[in-house]
Amino acid sequence: MRDFQLPGRSALYASNGLCATSHPLAAQTAIDILKQGGNAMDAAIAGAVLLGFCEPQSTGLGGDCFALFTDPGGGNIRAFNGSGRAPAAADPDALRAQGHDIVPEYDAAAITIPGAVEGFCRLAADHGRLGLEAILAPSIRYAEEGVPVAPRVAFDWQAARDVPRGHGKTHYLSGGAPLPVGAIFRSPGQAELLRRVARDGADAFYTGEIAEDMLSTLTALGGVHTADDFASHRGNYTDAISGTYGGKDLLEHPPNGQGATAILMLNILKHFDLSGLDPLGPERTHLEAEAAKLAYDARNRLIADPDHTTRIAHMLAPETAAKLAALIRPDAVIADPVPLTESVHRDTVYITVVDRDRMAVSMIYSIFHSFGSGYASEKFSVLFQNRGAGFCLSPGHPNELGGGKRPMHTIIPAMLAENGQATTSFGVMGGAYQPCGHARYVSNRLDYGMEAQTALDAPRAFAEEGVLKLERGYSEATRAALSDLGHKVVTPDAPIGGAQAITILPDGVLEGASDPRKDGCALGY
């Protein structure tokens, strides 16, 4: 139990249904959908779409989504891949000939086909109850009436104030300036877009006037996208991948997501007795940092569109983790093995919902960088993701840019399970940090016995780009010990990630936890 004399928040307990996400209006909307008779899938989609207006810097209809979900009762965990592909005419040789060694982040070449809208429509039809009209009604209303800008959203908006460009400036800035706390963000063009999707389904987005609006903008930017690229988009159902840690199964989304990285990282950490270490001490922090470097190196080599690589089994093999664990020394720092050959991001939204029937949904939705590519369509103000910056340009690499390919994705939903039954639905925002965040949350819960909210509140560390980022919650003694060991310790300007979690307790009660690094909360009834 937390110390009630210190700052913090309690977990939320409910019996009928619960949502945890990064904005209160989205959490309330999800609960309202449940009260209307919708299930967890309806509620998760309704809340996720609304997050595109509550947090437009982080996500939107021009982005992608991934989901893990269960049947009522919490069993039969499945996955859905709602990520878009590069246009068929995408040409890595053309970019290399222009002198690029990575896909330029704010260029039409980085804009992939949006996958989220088709994913939401398919999941609603296949696994929801209420239908699109009811699910999208709250977002249509908020897009028209507007959403007051929340504090963390304003912080991110200010940090990315130079990203919106072209029609993106018109739709996502006010007089060329970012919106401050309390300002009202409206998007009437997207309200009309959602009305059409509610009436006609995904075809309204991927064909007809909305697709033409997107294509005219992309063509003007020099993009090679075509009407066929939009009309042919389909997401797909797939099987979750899994690993074990502390007697629990960790379920992750398979490639092209990076979920295997979290499993590999925990498989490496199994070789050390973390439970005997101070959770905020230098020893645990060092081991986690070294495991992250090795796991992320494997990710950079192996994870790509599953249609183009089949080496994921190598990442999940116990032998791989054992060999990597043997490279970690308690008294030395591993130099970053390989520099990243693709871009990583820090902006995403995550929502999890469990309903009265104990159907659980873990859903994540993103436009990649803050404000994505920065470009938006003229009439319907669809902000395009720049997820194609997740490709690399190394010839022959499995994640090399190619026509019709899906890039390596950083966004990953997760669940913990026992005997095939989901016990926790959770996710961590924060771009490249996400696998490390998954591993840390699982370790906090299982190695240190932290309650769910405490596990999210606890200070975070992340070894990235040659430095070890430590949030301000670490002691000076830990910082000094890590510096003496050889880590380049820095304090990041922004918090590391953000997370949400719902635990299904043995008696069936739901426990919701929400990261204070975001504006959101857990709500239930």
Beta strands (DSSP E) in 226-312 are 236-238, 241-245, 248-252
Extract the tokens encoding 482: 């890590």
* Nearest Cα to Cα of residue 108 among 251, 256, 214, 261: 214
Neighbouring-strand partners of residue 417: 249, 422
Q: What are phi and psi of 375, to 5 degrees?
A: -95, 145
Q: How many CB atoms lie under 10 A from the CB of residue 465?
A: 12
Average pLDDT value for the chain: 96
What is the structure's pLDDT at 343? 57
What is the structure's pLDDT at 22? 97
* Res 5 pLDDT > 90: no
Which amino acid, one-letter code, is at 222? Answer: G
Q: What is the pLDDT of residues 244-293, one digit of tens each?
A: 999 999 999 999 999 999 999 999 999 999 999 999 999 999 999 999 99
Q: Is there a catalytic annotation at residue 348?
A: yes
Calculated CA dihedral for residues 225, 227, 230, 232, nearest 10 degrees: -120
Contact status, residue 68 vs residue 424, Cβ threshold 8 Å: no
CB burial of 349-365 (b: ≥16 within 10 Å; e: otherwise) equals: bbbbbbbbebbbbbbbb
Contact status, residue 264 vs residue 252, Cβ threshold 8 Å: no
What is the structure's pLDDT at 347? 67
Q: What are phi and psi of 373, to 5 degrees?
A: -75, -15
- Residue indicated by tokens 């992309």: 218
What is the percentage of the chain residues whose pLDDT exceeds 90? 94
Compute the residue count for the chain: 525
Extract the tokens encoding 348: 């995403």
What is the structure's pLDDT at 6? 81
Handedness of CA 24, 28, 33, 39 (dihedral sign): positive
Contact status, residue 268 vs residue 439, Cβ threshold 8 Å: no
- The Cα–Cα gap between 111 and 389 comes to 8
Q: What is the pLDDT of residues 66-79, one digit of tens each?
A: 999 999 999 999 99
What is the structure's pLDDT at 431? 83
- The Cα–Cα gap between 517 and 118 comes to 30
CATH number for 9-457+497-525 (one of 3.40.30.10, 3.40.190.80, 3.10.300.10, 3.60.20.40): it is 3.60.20.40
Q: Mean of the pLDDT values across residues 150-162?
A: 97
pLDDT band per the 50, 70, 90 thresholds, residue 184: very high
Q: Is 213 exposed, middle or buried (0-12, 13-18, 19+ CB in 10 A)?
A: buried
Q: Mean of the pLDDT values across residues 184-212?
A: 98
For Cα atoms 18, 66, 30, give the angle at the middle one, nearest 5 degrees: 25
pLDDT band per the 50, 70, 90 thresholds, residue 304: very high
Residue 59 CA, chain-centre distance (Å), reads 10
Q: Mean of the pLDDT values across residues 404-430?
A: 96
Q: Mean of the pLDDT values across residues 296-306?
A: 93
- The Cα–Cα gap between 387 and 408 comes to 9
Domain ranges of the chain: 9-457+497-525
Beta strands (DSSP E) in 402-479 are 413-418, 421-429, 461-464, 467-470
Tell me the three-class secondary structure of 288-310, residue by residue: HHHHHHHHHHHHHHHCCCCCCCC
Extract the tokens encoding 43: 């509620």
Q: What is the pLDDT of residues 336-351, one digit of tens each?
A: 655 444 555 456 899 9
Q: How far apart are the first and last CA of the chain?
A: 22
- What SS3 class is residue 8? coil
- The Cα–Cα gap between 346 and 32 comes to 29
pTM of the model: 0.96
* Nearest Cα to Cα of residue 346 among 131, 525, 517: 517
Select which of 348, 352, 454, 503 is catalytic: 348
* Nearest Cα to Cα of residue 54 among 430, 499, 351: 351
Contact status, residue 416 vs residue 249, Cβ threshold 8 Å: yes
Q: Mean of the pLDDT values across residues 45-55?
A: 98
Q: What is the pLDDT of residues 319-330, one digit of tens each?
A: 999 999 999 999
What is the structure's pLDDT at 311? 80
